[in-house]
Structure 1
Amino acid sequence: MVSLGVLARKIFGSSNDRRIKSTRPRVEAINAMENELAGLSDAELAARTEQFRADLANGATLEDLLVPAFATVREAARRVLGLRPFDVQLVGGIVLHNGGIAEMRTGEGKTLVATLPVYLNALAGKGVHVVTVNDYLARRDAEWMGRVYKFLGLTVGVIVHGLSDEERRAAYACDVTYATNNELGFDYLRDNMKYDRPSMVQRGHNYAIVDEVDSILIDEARTPLIISGPLEDRSEMYNTIDAFMLKLDPPDYEVDEKQRTAIFTEEGTEKLENLLREAGHLKGESLYDVENVAIVHHVNNALKAHRLFQKDKDYIVRNNEIVIIDEFTGRMMPGRRYSEGLHQALEAKEHVAIQPENQTLASVTFQNYFRMYKKLAGMTGTALTEAEEFGNIYGLEVTEVPTNLPVKRLDEDDEVYRTVEEKYKAIVRDIREAREKGQPILVGTTSIEKSEQLAERLRKEGIQEFQVLNARYHEQEAIIVAQAGKPGAITIATNMAGRGTDIQLGGNADMRIAQELGELAEGADRDAKEKAIREDIRQLKDKALAAGGLYVLATERHESRRIDNQLRGRSGRQGDPGRSKFYLSLQDDLMRIFGSDRMDGMLQKLGLKEDEAIIHPWINKALEKAQKKVEARNFDIRKNLLKFDDVANDQRKVVFDQRLSLMDGENLSETVAEMRQDVIDDLVAKHIPENAYAEQWDAAGLKEGVRQSLNLDLPVEEWVKEEGIAEEQVRERISQASDAAADDRAGRFGPEVMTYVERSVMLQTLDHLWREHLVNLDHLRSVVGFRGYAQRDPLQEYKQESFELFQAMLANLRQAVTAQLMRVELVREAAEAPPPQAPEAVGHHIDGTTGEDDFGEGFGDPQLAVLADSRTVAPEERDPNNPASWGKVGRNEACPCGSGKKFKHCHGAFV
Structure 2
Amino acid sequence: ASNILLMQHINSALRAHMLFRKDDHYIIDGDEVVIVDEFTGRTMPGRRWSEGLHQAIEAKEGVSIKKENQTLASITFQNYFRLYEKLSGMTGTADTEAVEFQDIYGLETVVVPPNKLSERHDKADQIYLTLEEKLEAIANDVESCQESGQPVLVGTSSIENSEAISALLGDKNITHEVLNAKQHEREAIIIANAGGIGAVTIATNMAGRGTDIVLGGKLVDDATDQQKQDWQVEHNKVISAGGLHIVGTERNESRRVDNQLRGRSGRQGDVGSTRFYLSLEDNLMRIFASDKMAAMMKKLGMEKGEAIEHKMVNRAIENAQRKVEGMNYDARKNLLEYDDVANDQRKVIYSLRDALMSTNDVQERFISIRKSVIGDLFSGYISAGQAEEDWDVEGLHNALKADYKAEFPLQQWLDEGVDVDELESRIVEGLSAICDYKEQMTGVESMRGFEKAVMLQTLDHYWKEHLAAMDYLRQSVNLRGYAQKNPTQEYKRESFAMFTELLDTIDIEIVKSLSSVTINEGTRATDVEQQDNAGAIAQHEDGADVPTEEIEKPTTVKKKGEKVGRNDPCPCGSGKKYKNCHG
**TM-score, normalised with respect to structure 2:** 0.85
**How far has the Cα of 1:498 moved from its partner?**
6.9
CA RMSD of aligned residues (A): 2.2
Tell me the secondary structure at the aligned position of residue 458 of structure 1: helix
Higher-Rg member (1/2): 2
Within the alignment, does 1:489 sit opposite 2:199 as a pair?
yes
**How far has the Cα of 1:740 moved from its partner?**
3.7
Structure 1, unmatched stretches of 5+, are: 1-289, 514-526, 838-911
Corresponding residue for 2:306?
612
Of 239, 243, 259, the match for 1:549:
243
Corresponding residue for 2:534?
none
Residue-by-residue CA offset, 1:616-644 (whole Å, 9 max, x unaligned): 11111110010011011111111111222
Tell me the secondary structure at the aligned position of residue 229 of structure 2: helix
Corresponding residue for 1:467?
177
User: Against the structure 1 CA distance between its residues 787 and 689, is the aligned structure 2 distance closer, same or farther, given a 3 Å change threshold?
Assistant: farther
Amino acid at match of 1:716: L
Within the alignment, does 1:378 sit opposite 2:89 as a pair?
yes
**How far has the Cα of 1:501 moved from its partner?**
4.0
Corresponding residue for 2:118?
407
Within the alignment, does 1:292 sit opposite 2:3 as a pair?
yes
Within the alignment, does 1:765 sit opposite 2:425 as a pair?
no
Corresponding residue for 2:537?
none
Query: In 2, Cα distance between the equivalents of 1:440 and 1:359?
Result: 47
Tell me the secondary structure at the aligned position of residue 410 of structure 1: strand
The answer to whether the 8 Å contact 1:451/1:468 transfers is: yes
Write the mapping of 1:729-808 to structure 2, written as runs, cut at 5 A. Answer: 729-746=422-439, 749-808=442-501
Corresponding residue for 1:631?
325
Corresponding residue for 2:555?
none
Within the alignment, does 1:540 sit opposite 2:234 as a pair?
yes
Query: In 2, Cα distance between the equivalents of 1:356 and 1:712?
Result: 40
Tell me the secondary structure at the aligned position of residue 74 of structure 2: strand
Query: In 1, Cα distance between the equivalents of 2:287 and 2:29?
Result: 30
Query: In 1, Cα distance between the equivalents of 2:377 and 2:522?
Result: 35
Write the mapping of 1:512-661 to structure 2, written as runs, cut at 5 A. Answer: 530-661=224-355
User: Against the structure 1 CA distance between its residues 318 and 745, is the aligned structure 2 distance closer, same or farther, given a 3 Å change threshold?
Assistant: closer
- Structure 1 vs Structure 2: percent identity of aligned residues? 50
Amino acid at match of 1:539: V
Corresponding residue for 1:721?
415
**How far has the Cα of 1:749 moved from its partner?**
4.8
Tell me the secondary structure at the aligned position of residue 492 of structure 1: strand
Query: In 2, Cα distance between the equivalents of 1:836 and 1:405?
Result: 64
Query: In 2, Cα distance between the equivalents of 1:645 and 1:757?
Result: 34
Amino acid at match of 2:398: E
The answer to whether the 8 Å contact 1:683/1:706 transfers is: no
Write the mapping of 1:365-444 to structure 2, written as runs, cut at 5 A. Answer: 365-444=76-155
Query: In 2, Cα distance between the equivalents of 1:713 and 1:320?
Result: 56
Tell me the secondary structure at the aligned position of residue 110 of structure 2: strand
The answer to whether the 8 Å contact 1:496/1:567 transfers is: no
Residue-by-residue CA offset, 1:300-338 (whole Å, 9 max, x unaligned): 222222222222222233323323222212223343222
Within the alignment, does 1:301 sit opposite 2:19 as a pair?
no
Query: In 1, Cα distance between the equivalents of 2:132 and 2:361?
Result: 75
User: Against the structure 1 CA distance between its residues 591 and 690, is the aligned structure 2 distance closer, same or farther, given a 3 Å change threshold?
Assistant: farther
Tell me the secondary structure at the aligned position of residue 506 of structure 1: coil
Aligned length: 527
Within the alignment, does 1:479 sit opposite 2:189 as a pair?
yes
**How far has the Cα of 1:398 moved from its partner?**
2.1
Corresponding residue for 2:568?
none
Write the mapping of 1:241-256 to structure 2, written as runs, cut at 5 A. Answer: none
Corresponding residue for 2:65?
354
Tell me the secondary structure at the aligned position of residue 376 of structure 1: coil
Corresponding residue for 2:156?
445
Tell me the secondary structure at the aligned position of residue 443 of structure 1: strand
**How far has the Cα of 1:746 moved from its partner?**
4.2
Which has the higher mean CA deviation after the structures are superposed, 317-326 or 555-564? Answer: 317-326
The answer to whether the 8 Å contact 1:679/1:814 transfers is: yes
**How far has the Cα of 1:442 moved from its partner?**
0.9
Tell me the secondary structure at the aligned position of residue 610 of structure 1: coil
Residue-by-residue CA offset, 1:75-131 (whole Å, 9 max, x unaligned): xxxxxxxxxxxxxxxxxxxxxxxxxxxxxxxxxxxxxxxxxxxxxxxxxxxxxxxxx
Tell me the secondary structure at the aligned position of residue 317 of structure 1: strand
Query: In 2, Cα distance between the equivalents of 1:666 and 1:448?
Result: 53
The answer to whether the 8 Å contact 2:157/2:250 transfers is: yes
The answer to whether the 8 Å contact 1:709/1:818 transfers is: no
Corresponding residue for 1:809?
502
Amino acid at match of 1:790: A
Within the alignment, does 1:662 sit opposite 2:360 as a pair?
no
The answer to whether the 8 Å contact 1:315/1:325 transfers is: yes
Corresponding residue for 2:552?
none
**How far has the Cα of 1:743 moved from its partner?**
4.1
Which has the higher mean CA deviation after the structures are superposed, 351-360 or 493-502? Answer: 493-502
Of 711, 716, 724, the match for 2:405:
711
**How far has the Cα of 1:707 moved from its partner?**
2.6
Residue-by-residue CA offset, 1:142-171 (whole Å, 9 max, x unaligned): xxxxxxxxxxxxxxxxxxxxxxxxxxxxxx
Tell me the secondary structure at the aligned position of residue 679 of structure 1: helix
Query: In 2, Cα distance between the equivalents of 1:496 and 1:344?
Result: 27
**TM-score, normalised with respect to structure 1:** 0.56
**How far has the Cα of 1:600 moved from its partner?**
0.2
The answer to whether the 8 Å contact 2:413/2:423 transfers is: yes
User: Against the structure 1 CA distance between its residues 595 and 576, is the aligned structure 2 distance closer, same or farther, given a 3 Å change threshold?
Assistant: closer
Residue-by-residue CA offset, 1:213-266 (whole Å, 9 max, x unaligned): xxxxxxxxxxxxxxxxxxxxxxxxxxxxxxxxxxxxxxxxxxxxxxxxxxxxxx
Residue-by-residue CA offset, 1:43-77 (whole Å, 9 max, x unaligned): xxxxxxxxxxxxxxxxxxxxxxxxxxxxxxxxxxx
Structure 2, unmatched stretches of 5+, are: 528-583
Amino acid at match of 1:801: E
